[in-house]
Amino acid sequence: MDEYGRFVDWDKMDVSAQSQDTKELTCTDLHELKQLARQGYWAKNHSLRAKVYHKLISNIPCRTVTPDANVYRDIVVKIIGKRNSSSLPLPEFVDNSLIPTYCLNAEGIGAVRKIILCIANQFPDISFCPALPSVIALLLHYSKDEAECFEQVCRILACNDPSKRLIDQTFLAFESSCMTFGDLVNKYCQAAHKLMVAVSEDVLEVYSDWQRWLFGELPMAYVARIFDVFLVEGYKVLYRVALALLKFFHKVRAGQPMESDSIQQDIRAFVRDIAKSVSPERLLEKAFAIRLFSRKEIQLLQMANEKALQQKGITVKQKSNLKLVKLSVFCIVFLRQNVHLAVHAENFKSEIVSVKEMRDIWSWIPERFALCQPLLLFTTLEHGCSLSRFYSHSEGHEPTLLLIKTTAKEVETEVLECSFLSRTLCSVHTLMSALPFSASLQLQPEVERYEWVIIKHPELASTGSETENHAQPASSTLSSSSIPSDPSDRLSPFLAARHFNLPSKTASMFMAGSSECIIVGGGDGQALYLDADLNHGRTSHCNTFNNQPLCSESFQISILEVWGFRD
């Protein structure tokens, strides 16, 4: 049909949606390119899209020595020879990923494998890249020959702009992106997240599928539209679209019985058949309607998750653990190679919550903490109802999880990131250094989650240099240790409380502790008040969390437990 159609099976391609109008793309302004990409300016002209892809990829800053088309022509005969490429094993870094055929003809399907093998030869540093087959398959639709496609993929892989992340190429990068996606779902798709928690034993395992939704299950027309924008705006687009997919899944499937025994399989099936309910334009519209963190903020969150994985020595995929999934009843532990350590049933015992309820709590916390196991630090049943012993057993541990069961059998939890060693009112500058999760969670009689009001309504505060000017007087009273110097420790400026220009002091009243009481939340009431005997408590609305009372407003404590996070 045109010079870029060598590998296309036009019977599979929706030719009726293609325009034969001769259009050119002459703009170079990034803002204008973003608008054109989102509007699908080149989406309905096969030849124009091919030329735009070539132009955008050619402008990607790359390493000095990046394999090009000539390199491919030199090595493909040596690597493949006269053998049928379909008989050759693929490199381990594609992780048995689906190799989508999209609208490729037989020659194109074979070319995907050949290009993967040649890339493995030229990029020995790639250790994990499950998205690669999909990217190659897509670009083959818009390439004149295999060598041109190879060169374009190499430029994407060899991008050396630190601010322009494109494709994950290591297990560490891939896993941290899965953790980051889980954090984003926790904030932006809470209704869908509640559904995942209700029907899945391990939500982290569900979210680890997010790249497969995009680079494996989505139909060709959707992948191409996403790629249009991805080449202009970068990795953040992938998060946006995956969040939109989850929102649509929840909207379409909420209240309906599961179609299989696995929510993962249901989501995959929904994504494969998404054309029945959502158009590509509607999907992108939904994706860009999400008020997502900035690129810098997401990058910092990703850095923090990578650092958490590195500290635990999780940087490569452990092959041996794959076999344990079938052999052990604790498959939730071994899935994803010990990266997400859900609560161990055999090692966990609480008099307040069940293993399932603790796993539900774990699903609401950031994934870098979900890497840890719960560690019981204090319980009134063993250590008595003494606030001093409460402090001595809990001090030095942060973050901590406070579980309370009332005599009315109501259960509430508090997640705190301030050591109980500090027993004076903790200001915004020493607490909640970067937690995108709730500080108050009511489990019974029904689950209610309350997060810091600034996280819920960021418009109440501003970030950036203006904030730091406002915060200067308060920060002058802090020790240097309370202000992280490493950006990866600070996480996202959006999430770090100290970066906000708060509208009032009550918005920063997270926790106060003394020999007489413990208080969580402040301003027009307290989310939680516990007396010195850990016997009586109160709860009410407060400005810090904008919460409803967590249980009966005045209650008697039956059992209190404090849990830490063990590596």
Co-location of 179 and 275 in the same domain: yes
**Distance separating alpha carbons of residues 312 and 314, to the nearest angstrom:** 6
**Distance separating alpha carbons of residues 334 and 342, to the nearest angstrom:** 9
- Residue 347 resides in a domain: no
CATH at 287:
1.10.472.80
Mean pLDDT computed over 558-563 = 92
Whether cis (ω within 30° of 0) applies to the bond prior to 133 is: no
**Structural tokens at position 400:** 């901590």
Co-location of 440 and 558 in the same domain: yes
pLDDT at 253: 79
pLDDT at 457: 64
Q: pLDDT-based confidence at 202, cuts 50/70/90?
A: confident
- Residue 250 resides in a domain: yes
Least confident of 220-234, 293-307, 372-386: 293-307
Q: Residues near 368 by Cβ (< 8 Å), separated by ≥ 6?
A: 179, 304, 305, 307, 308, 309
Q: Say whether 443 sits in a helix, a strand or coil.
A: strand
Most confident of the ranges 54-68, 317-331, 344-358, 453-467:
54-68
**Distance separating alpha carbons of residues 385 and 130, to the nearest angstrom:** 53
* Domain boundary residue, one of 244, 271, 301: 301
- What type of residue sits at position 475? S
* Domain boundary residue, one of 267, 285, 301: 301
Co-location of 430 and 561 in the same domain: yes
**Distance separating alpha carbons of residues 461 and 34, to the nearest angstrom:** 28
Least confident of 154-163, 343-352, 522-531: 343-352
Co-location of 153 and 179 in the same domain: no
CA distances from 397 to 267, 286, 373 (A): 38, 41, 13
Co-location of 222 and 295 in the same domain: yes
Q: How much is the pTM?
A: 0.70
Q: pLDDT-based confidence at 269, cuts 50/70/90?
A: very high
pLDDT at 483: 33
- pLDDT tens digit sequence for 379-397: 999 999 999 899 888 887 8
Co-location of 148 and 204 in the same domain: no
- Residue 237 resides in a domain: yes
For residues 225 and 550, the model is more confident at: 225
- Judged against a pLDDT cut of 70, whether residue 491 lies above it is answered with no
**Distance separating alpha carbons of residues 286 and 305, to the nearest angstrom:** 27
Q: pLDDT-based confidence at 515, cuts 50/70/90?
A: confident
Average per-residue pLDDT for the chain? 78
Co-location of 387 and 520 in the same domain: yes
Co-location of 58 and 199 in the same domain: no
- pLDDT tens digit sequence for 124-145: 999 999 999 999 999 999 999 9
pLDDT at 238: 96
Short-list 236, 371, 399, CA closest to 310:
371
Co-location of 78 and 193 in the same domain: no
- pLDDT tens digit sequence for 46-88: 999 999 999 999 999 998 889 999 999 999 999 998 888 778 8
66 half-sphere exposure, CB direction, 13 A CA radius: 18
β-bridge pairing 554-566 and 373-379: antiparallel
Co-location of 96 and 238 in the same domain: no
> Could you tell me what percent of the chain has a pLDDT over 70?
75
Q: Number of folded domains in the chain?
A: 3
- Residue 320 resides in a domain: no
- Residue 555 resides in a domain: yes
- Judged against a pLDDT cut of 50, whether residue 228 lies above it is answered with yes
Q: pLDDT-based confidence at 216, cuts 50/70/90?
A: very high
Domain residues for the domain of 238 are 171-301
Least confident of 109-123, 183-197, 198-212, 308-322: 308-322
Co-location of 219 and 140 in the same domain: no
Co-location of 440 and 540 in the same domain: yes
pLDDT at 24: 75
- Judged against a pLDDT cut of 70, whether residue 43 lies above it is answered with yes
* Domain boundary residue, one of 276, 301, 326: 301
- Residue 495 resides in a domain: no
Q: Containing H/E element for 205? A: helix 203-207
Least confident of 201-205, 336-340, 534-538: 336-340
Distance of CA 547 to the CA centre of its chain: 26
- Residue 5 resides in a domain: no
Asked whether the beta carbons of 521 and 439 are under 8 A apart, the reply is yes
- Residue 410 resides in a domain: yes
